[in-house]
Amino acid sequence: MQTRCMLLPEMKKPKIMADNREPDSVCDSLEALGAEIEMRQLEMGDYLLSDRLVVERKTRADFEASIVDGRLFSQVSSLCAALPRVVVIVEGDAPEEGRLSRAALLGAYSALISDFGCVLFFTRSPSATAEMLYALAHHEQLAKTRAAPVYAKRKARGLSDQQRAVVEALPNVGPTLAEALLKYFDTVENVMSAPESELRQVEKIGGKKAAELRKLLSTRYMPARKSGGMGSENSA
């Protein structure tokens, strides 16, 4: 039986990093749409679509089960701490007799949107999920020319990926800029110790970003002081 997928107009292929535990039905549909799929065991999320956007996909049954056992909000909390754009896709039709009441489901939807700032999207089938994933990846990578990151992987990485991940941890440094810095300075140590004047020589750094990086790397660490709580220590 042929999978029914809606081909999108542009011919360029977005790259999607998919968790290797995700079903073939979604990944096969993504490939049919024209996406380039890289299967890995991801530490967080199910699909990495760019250096800022991750998707957590759940079937209706698993979505309800994850609310009951507390997994959902723990997973989403970790995702939101790691990346600025988190999309939760709930796949499949609602069961006639679910485990949760409508009020409980609405409360979970509200928490995801209001408390965590997630985008919540519902699909009816794996092929519909694939269409949404493809559209998001295409928009992120081709319309905005963003790259897929090396983060969110549980398996051991090669040395070059680890080096790039360290540099990517710097503020406002994505995969493309991290690679440019490493190519220019050769080592992570050289990147971290580079003077502002040399940082400016790297393409897309600029004076402002170079100054911010140098300040971050050279300023002495001062732990934030905790609030004193109730009033002054000097009592009348």
DSSP 101-168: -HHHHHHHHHIIIIIS--EEEEESSHHHHHHHHHHHHHIIIIIS-----S-SB-SPPPHHHHHHHHHH
Same domain, 57 and 82: yes
The reply to whether 130 and 177 lie within a common domain is no
Q: What pLDDT score was predicted for residue 17?
A: 93
- Domain extent, residue 212, equals 159-218
**Does 93 reside within a domain?**
yes
Residue 230 lies in a domain: no
pLDDT of residue 229: 43
What was the pLDDT predicted at 109?
A: 95
Specify the pLDDT at position 175. 76
- Residue-level pLDDT, tens digit, the chain, 236 residues: 444 444 444 447 899 999 999 999 999 999 999 999 999 888 889 999 998 899 999 999 999 999 988 899 989 998 998 888 999 999 998 877 777 888 999 999 999 999 999 999 999 999 999 999 999 999 998 886 666 555 454 333 578 877 887 887 787 787 788 889 999 999 999 999 999 999 999 988 888 888 988 988 888 888 766 544 444 344 43
Distance CA 107, CA 112 (A): 9
User: What is the rounded CA–CA span in Å between residue 35 and residue 15?
Assistant: 6
**Residue 197 corresponds to which tokens in the numbers above?**
């004047």
Same domain, 64 and 168: no
C-beta of residue 175 within 8 angstroms of C-beta of residue 147: yes
**Phi, psi at residue 52, to the nearest 5°?**
-135, -5
What is residue 165's predicted lDDT score, i.e. its pLDDT?
Answer: 77
- Contact criterion met (CB below 8 Å) for 77 and 115: no
Residue 64 within any structural domain of the chain: yes
CATH number (domain holding residue 192): 1.10.150.20
Is 135 in the same domain as 171?
no
| Same domain, residue pair 125 and 199 | no
109 in a structural domain: yes
Structural domain tally of the chain? 2
The residue with tokens 């300023």 is 219
Q: How far is CA 130 from CA 23, 26, 35, 83, 214, in A?
A: 11, 5, 10, 21, 42
Does a structural domain hold residue 232?
A: no
96 with 204, same domain: the answer is: no
63 lies in a domain?
yes
Together in a domain, 178 and 111: no
pTM of the model: 0.60
Q: Are residues 176 and 59 in the same domain?
A: no
132 and 198: one domain?
Answer: no
Give CA 119 to chain center in angstroms. 13
Q: Helix, strand or coil for residue 204? A: coil
Of 86, 110, 143, the residue that ends a domain is 143
CATH value at residue 136:
3.40.50.10130
Burial of 17 (0-12, 13-18, 19+ CB in 10 A): buried
Could you say which of 143, 170, 198 is where a domain stops? 143
Claim to verify: residue 84 and residue 163 sit in the same structural domain: no
Q: How far is CA 154 from CA 20, 33, 42, 181, in A?
A: 11, 27, 5, 25
Q: Are residues 21 and 64 in the same domain?
A: yes
Q: Is residue 110 part of a domain?
A: yes
- Specify whether 136 is located in the same domain as 172: no
- What is the pLDDT at residue 225? 62
> For the chain, first and last CA: distance in Å?
83
